[in-house]
Amino acid sequence: MREYLVEEELEHYRDGWISRREFIRRAVLIGVGAAAATSLARTVQPVRAASTSSLLQTSPFHVDENDPRIESDMIWYPSNDGAYIKAYLAWPANVALNASAPAVVVSHANRGLLPHFMDVARRFAVQGYVALAADQVSRTGTPTDELEDDGQRAAYASLNPEQTARDMVAALEYLKAHGAVNPAKLAATGYCAGGTVTWRVATLAPDLKAAAPFYGTNPPAAAVPNIRAAMLGVYAGLDDRVNAGIPEIEAEMSAAGTTYEIKIYPESMHGFHDDGGNPAYNPVTAPEAWTDTLNWFAQNLGLPAPRV
């Protein structure tokens, strides 16, 4: 996971989002020595000068936290080892407690449970899901919202990725016990580092019916036959590093008989779905990927067509 996080920051330097100095500083926070970070920076030629300005745009699917269509709360749920994980729970207003609603877990990127990922949970809630966005960083003892940017990055880098995946499997178990949730209609999604976590969750959770990891790295090859969920692999057309693993995961899923689809969105960078101030946000392909995710879940969870 540390290698993945450093490579993400190296891409940010290459794409001109951060300066060379900022890349080295972030790499050191993640746990790479200064000398090694400096050597890595020499391997990249930025495509443009770093700029601190970006055109902030909001997804047409954004759902305000006070939207009357949904309700939400911060909760704590137990993981497999007895530790408690903080999470944002969103659900349709006036949902019936009759075990009929689908549910989804949302895995955040490498800085923790930022507002964008809570918005994603709300977007699912207006579609009828009970949605849980876990604050994986809270396992360190300090939730995301109590840390500054650097502390968020360092805390996430300190996590054990296998335990993080187990924490998300525990989130599914929490949802299965929710009075509104149909335990046969469980889904998962995640973004960037959370996409990697989602792949791993799919290998660990036999009750998972559908998943949509966004630009995540492959799970261990030996674990791919364990996947029972229908997998929608979402990739950015300009994300060469992560996309290099597509042929391998396709071959492994084909051999295992996994139901899957790979979608590569053109002219899009790693992180293109994130409208929470991320300069990679693509206002054309992000809504397309969201709609495709909803359709994939509806198809494989036996739900009506999404309201888009």
Q: What is the pLDDT of residues 107-140, one digit of tens each?
A: 999 999 999 999 999 999 999 999 999 999 999 9
Identify the helix (H) or strand (E) that includes residue 251. helix 246-256
Res. 52: pLDDT tops 60:
no
Position 55 scores a pLDDT of: 52
* Confidence band of 189 (pLDDT split at 50, 70, 90): very high
Of 8, 65, 3, 6, the C-alpha closest to 215 is: 8
pTM of the model: 0.87
| Distance from C-alpha of 64 to C-alpha of 123, rounded to nearest angstrom | 9
238-254 pLDDT, tens digit each: 898 899 999 999 999 99
| Distance from C-alpha of 244 to C-alpha of 242, rounded to nearest angstrom | 5
Position 54 scores a pLDDT of: 44
200-225 pLDDT, tens digit each: 999 999 999 999 999 999 999 999 99
| Distance from C-alpha of 257 to C-alpha of 260, rounded to nearest angstrom | 9
* Confidence band of 235 (pLDDT split at 50, 70, 90): very high
Question: What are the domain boundaries of the chain?
Answer: 2-42, 70-301
Position 3 scores a pLDDT of: 79
Position 48 scores a pLDDT of: 57
Identity of residue 278: N
Strands 130-134 vs 101-107: parallel, antiparallel or unpaired: parallel
Strands 84-92 vs 130-134: parallel, antiparallel or unpaired: antiparallel
- Classify domain 70-301 by CATH number: 3.40.50.1820
CB burial string 150-161: b at 16+ within 10 A, e below:
ebbbbbbbebee
Percent of residues, the chain, with pLDDT higher than 90:
76
Position 18 scores a pLDDT of: 78
57-68 pLDDT, tens digit each: 889 999 999 999
